[in-house]
Amino acid sequence: MQDSESGPPGLSCDSHHLEKAGILHYSRTILTDLVCAGLFHGSVAFADEWRTELGAFRVGIVGGSDLRGAAARAEPFRLALEEGLAMPVEIFATRDYPSLIDAATRSRIEYAVLSPLAFAATRKSCDCFEPLVAASSGDGTDSYRMVVIASATGPQNPQGLNGAAVGALRVGGAGGLDLALLELAGNGLDLRQTPNRLVLFDQGSQLLSALQNGEVAAIIGWSTLAGDPTEGYSRGTLQQLAATGGEISDYRVIWKSAPIPYRVHAVRSNLDAEAKTVLRSLLPAMFEADPVAYDSIEPVYGGGFVAARPGQFTVLEKLLPQDVETAPVAQ
C-alpha cells in the first residue's frame, strides 16, 4: 500500500526521506529547510513564468470617441485586477466592437468586455476566447428574452399572426430584433415575407400605443420574465405597458426567445490556469468587496458578476454570416 504523500519521495520535504537517503552527517533540520526552500523558490519561479511571458495583462474595452476618458474611468477596475493578479494590468481601449474583436483575434489582449453578440462573433472567428462572467442587473437577472406580446383576445401563438401587422422598435440592442425575426421564422412566422407586415417605430411610446390602439396585432418587445408577472415582471415591455396605465391581464406573451445574456467578460482560452482561477474568484466577489471597481467597468448593470457559460451565446451565432467581419455587431 502506497503512502498518501502527493509528491515522489525524492522531492518530499519530510526529514524521514532525508534520513532514508543516508544524509546523516548534516543537521537534519538545516538540510530539510534548505531543500524545502529550494523547492519553494522553484515553484514560485514556475508559477511566475506566465506573468513574465505576458509582461502586462491587457484588458480590452470599447471607449467610443474618448479612449483616454474610457481608460481613466476604468482605472479602479484596472487596479483591482492588478492587485489580484499580482502583475501589471493595462487598459486597451478601442473605438468600437469590431476593433475590439480584431484585437482579441490577433492576441493583442488577454481579457475583453464584450456585448453578447460581439462575444459570439469573437468566438466564431477564432474560438480563442471563453466567457468568465456576465454582468447581472439589480433585479437579479443576468439575461433577457425577446417576446411577442398580443392582446389577451388576440392570437395565441406566432402562427396566428400570419397576414397581420406586427410592430417593433427600429433600433434594438445586441441584435435582439434580428434574433427574434430569425427564431420566429423557424416557428412559422416570417415577418419579412408578404402578406406579413413588420411595422417599425422610432419611439417606445409609439410602439406601445400601436398595440393599445389596435394599429398592430402584436409587438416584438423584451422582458426579463422575472419578478411579479402581475406587474409586468421586473423590467421590459410588459412593465412599460403597466406603467402607462394598461392592465397586464389585457395582454399575454405568445412567444419568447432563448435567453440573451447581458455584457460578458471573457479571457483568452490559452491563458494560464492560475490567472483564470484568480479571476473566477475575484470577479464574482467584486460587487460586494470593491463596488467602486465594479461600477467603474459596469456602470449600468448593478447586480454583480455571475458565472458565464459558452452555451449561453450559441443562439447568437445564428445571426453571424460566414464572414464574421460583416456581422451585425452591436455598437
Question: What topology is assigned to 143-260 in CATH?
Answer: D-Maltodextrin-Binding Protein; domain 2 (3.40.190)
* Strand partners of residue 60: 92, 112
Could you read off the pLDDT of 105-150 as tens digits, one per residue?
999 999 999 999 999 999 998 889 999 999 999 999 999 999 999 9
Q: Which of 33-47, 121-135, 166-180 has the highest mean pLDDT?
A: 121-135
Residues 6+ apart with CB under 8 A from 216: 164, 165, 166, 167, 199, 210
pLDDT at 6 over 60: no
Q: State whether residue 143 is helix, strand or coil.
A: strand
CA distance 171 to 180: 13
Q: Is the pLDDT of residue 329 over 70?
A: no
229, 248 contact by CB (below 8 A): yes
- pLDDT tens, residue by residue, 18-31: 343 343 343 444 44
pLDDT classification of 170: cutoffs 50, 70, 90: confident
What per-residue confidence (pLDDT) applies to 35?
41
Mean per-residue pLDDT of the chain: 85
Give 320 or 235, the one with higher predicted confidence.
Answer: 235
Q: Could you give the residue range(s) of every CATH 3.40.190.10 domain in the chain? A: 52-139+262-326, 143-260
Q: Which of 4-18, 171-185, 186-200 has the lowest mean pLDDT?
A: 4-18
Q: Where are the alpha helices (DSSP H) in the chain?
A: 15-20, 28-47, 49-54, 67-73, 75-85, 97-105, 116-126, 176-186, 204-212, 237-243, 273-289, 291-297
Distance from C-alpha of 197 to C-alpha of 146, rounded to nearest angstrom? 18
State residue 15's pLDDT score: 36
Using the CB atoms, write b or e for 285-301: b if 16+ within 10 Å: ebbeebeebbbbbbeeb
In sequence order, which residues have a C-beta less than 8 Å from that of residue 309 and are 6 or more positions away?
131
pLDDT of 16 > 70? The answer is no
> 194 or 93: which carries more pLDDT confidence?
93
- Per-residue confidence (pLDDT) for residue 47, from 0 to 100: 58
Euclidean distance between CA atoms 239 and 246, whole angstroms:
10
The model's pLDDT over 196-214, given as tens digits with 9 standing for 90+, comes to: 899 999 999 999 999 999 9
pLDDT confidence band for 158 (50 / 70 / 90):
very high
pTM greater than 0.85: no
Residue 124: count other Cβ atoms within 10 Å of its Cβ.
18
Average pLDDT over residues 260-278: 96
**Average pLDDT, integer, range 66-89:** 98
**Between 194 and 34, residue with greater pLDDT:** 194
| pLDDT at site 172 | 59
Q: Kindly state the helix (H) or strand (E) to which residue 266 belongs, with its residue range.
A: strand 264-268
> With 90 as the cut, is the pLDDT of residue 81 above it?
yes
Q: State the pLDDT at residue 61.
A: 98
Q: Tell which wins on pLDDT, 83 or 125.
A: 83
CB 103 within 8 A of CB 60: yes
Q: How confident is residue 41, by pLDDT bands cut at 50, 70 and 90? A: very low
When computed from its CA atoms, the radius of gyration of the chain, rounded to whole angstroms, is 27
Return all residues near 264 (Cβ < 8 A) that are at least 6 apart.
Answer: 113, 114, 115, 116, 119, 131, 133, 134, 135, 308, 313
Higher pLDDT, 297 or 175: 297
Confirm or reject CATH 3.40.190.10 for domain 52-139+262-326, answering yes or no. yes
- For residue 208, the tally of other CB atoms under 10 A from its CB is 21
